[in-house]
Amino acid sequence: MIINYFLRKLTRCAKYKKMIKNENKLRVRYGETDQMGYVYYGNYAQYFEVGRVEWLRSLGVSYKSLEESGIMLPVLNLNVNYLKPAKYDDLLTIVTILKKKPLIKIEFDFEIFNEKKELLTTGFTSLVFIDIVKNKPTKAPEALLEKIYNHFN
């Protein structure tokens, strides 16, 4: 079990060597917790959204600008692995990693750490680029692809 954990960590480091990664801090608010003082499980999807939005913003792109240009990004898939609970008033670090170069879909991996640098949660989301007018999948916008590809080369 411990060996598998370290093998995954080594693989993850090599795999993401050239990937675009972004980190954001977020403090757990009282309203996000349950009666035990733990973050309610449904809130992790919102934490991942914060990570995605800020990841895009770090490239100089906003969700708003994508929508204004006629592109939506609905979530196709969401997976969360709860390892340890986040608690009220914890300062979380949300690490968002582009999984691979996007075409019609864009995929992110997530890691959430507490202030002690303990890994609390991992996750994955895939989203699809949708043409708002046609309401059909479309290729990722060229301007976004250029910014992403510059990081890979």
CA angle 93, 94, 95 (to 5 degrees): 110
Is residue 41 in a domain? yes
The mean pLDDT of 88-116, rounded to a whole number, is 96
Residue 18 has pLDDT above 50, yes or no: yes
Is residue 100 in a domain? yes
Is residue 69 in a domain? yes
The domain containing residue 47 runs over which residues?
18-152
Residue 13 has pLDDT above 50, yes or no: no
Is residue 4 in a domain? no
How many structural domains comprise the chain?
1
% residues pLDDT > 90 (the chain) = 80
The mean pLDDT of 67-96, rounded to a whole number, is 97
CA distances (Å), origin 125, targets 33, 37, 77, 128: 23, 26, 5, 10
pLDDT value at residue 15? 46
On average, the pLDDT of the chain sits at 89
CATH of the domain at 49: 3.10.129.10
pLDDT value at residue 19? 74
The mean pLDDT of 24-28, rounded to a whole number, is 97
